[in-house]
Amino acid sequence: MRRGVFVVVAAIAAFACNEAIGAELITLRVGQVPSTVRSISSLHFAIGEREGFYAQQGIKLELVPIEGGTDKMVAALDRGAVELTQTATPYFIQAVLAGSSAVAVAAETANPVYSLIAKPEITSFADLKGKLVGLSLPIDTISISMRKLLAMKGLQEGDYRVKELVGTPVRLDCLKSGECDAVPLGQPEDFNAIDLGFHRLGVSTEAIAHFEFTVTAVRRDWAEANRDTLVHFLRGLAASFRFMRDPAHRDDVVKTIVERTGAPERTARAILALYFEPDRGVMPRAGELDLKGLAQVIAFMGDSGALKAPLPPPERFVDQRYLNLAGVK
């Protein structure tokens, strides 16, 4: 009897504690590129929320799609529309050099795998000569990596035509319509395209094996004024990445990919195998920033003419104090 009373009392106490925690959650608005909302690049948010990693830190995320995406992310941060934002590093770097107070406090996608997917009749890189390739904007790391992959396979700039298309879904539509002969696609769209009869010519990591693709950015003044909140957010982020990388949780991650993207289970498992068998460094271990990877982005921007010499050091764009306080090394 006494044991039963204890269990009931403990349950009531736990419920009351959870209610108290829920009432104290701090809402953080996080900017997202609309085309990535249901993609693998936002998977860590879904994992973190489902497993309660952010709630355990007293944080509630409000994911905010930013109209225009990609090069609009830091502008939304600067005007106070969000407290944090995902941002692709080239656009982030340009914004900071133009006067933004944004700073990177964590990495999200460290070394993405983009597949160059082609029409069924195009079976080699040589077949792309004179054909139309749908790329992103010239400054985008997707475009940079694809151009390097094409060059590595014997195709120079004048050997193929380019149409600028921002966002994996837009590029996939161009391929399916027949206008584009080949396009770079992320996951799961590349696997979906292969299922439709298109095929993979190569992947971006063949040409670029070390990169820093997307980061979490905040305003420097907001970070200073909200240090504890930011540190708690980063702990939730770190827990999410650790969970995703742990083989013991593979089935749970597969389930979340299926729910999040609509991809079949076999595709979800193929994506994780692509990332981790072997580990291609697509995801950070716990949100850690890679200065060498960021330096590579800066160097490529210099090569493309997007930045002029002397090139800025990667340290100018990051503040690792908050990751350190969160216990991430």
Tell me: the pLDDT tens digits for 255-297? 999 999 999 999 999 999 999 999 999 999 999 999 999 999 9
Q: How far is CA 206 from CA 125, 211, 233, 316, in A?
A: 14, 12, 34, 29
d(CA 321, CA 328): 10
Can you tell me whether residue 171 is helix, strand or coil?
Answer: helix
Strands (E), 102-143: 102-109, 115-118, 132-135
- Residue 304, pLDDT score: 85
171-177 long-range contacts, Cβ below 8 Å, gap at least 24? 171/134, 171/136, 174/134, 175/117, 175/119, 175/134
- Residue 107, pLDDT score: 97
Which residues make beta-bridge pairs with 60? Answer: 27
d(CA 115, CA 126): 17
* Residue 18, token pair as written in the block: 């959870």
Domains of the chain: 23-111+211-325 (3.40.190.10), 115-206 (3.40.190.10)
CB contact at 8 A, 213 and 33: no
CB contact at 8 A, 282 and 112: yes
* Residue 220, token pair as written in the block: 């420097």
d(CA 317, CA 63): 23
d(CA 38, CA 48): 15
- Residue 23, pLDDT score: 55
CB contact at 8 A, 272 and 250: yes
Query: 172, 166, 20, 27: which is closest to 88 by C-alpha?
Result: 166
* Chain CA centroid to CA 153, Å: 27
Q: Is the peptide bond before 310 cis (omega within 30 degrees of 0)?
A: yes
- Residue 71, pLDDT score: 85
d(CA 202, CA 200): 6
Can you tell me whether residue 246 is helix, strand or coil?
Answer: coil
> 102-109 and 214-219 as β-strands: parallel, antiparallel, unpaired?
antiparallel
d(CA 138, CA 1): 72
Counting as low any pLDDT under 70, the low residues of the chain are 1-23
CB contact at 8 A, 117 and 146: no
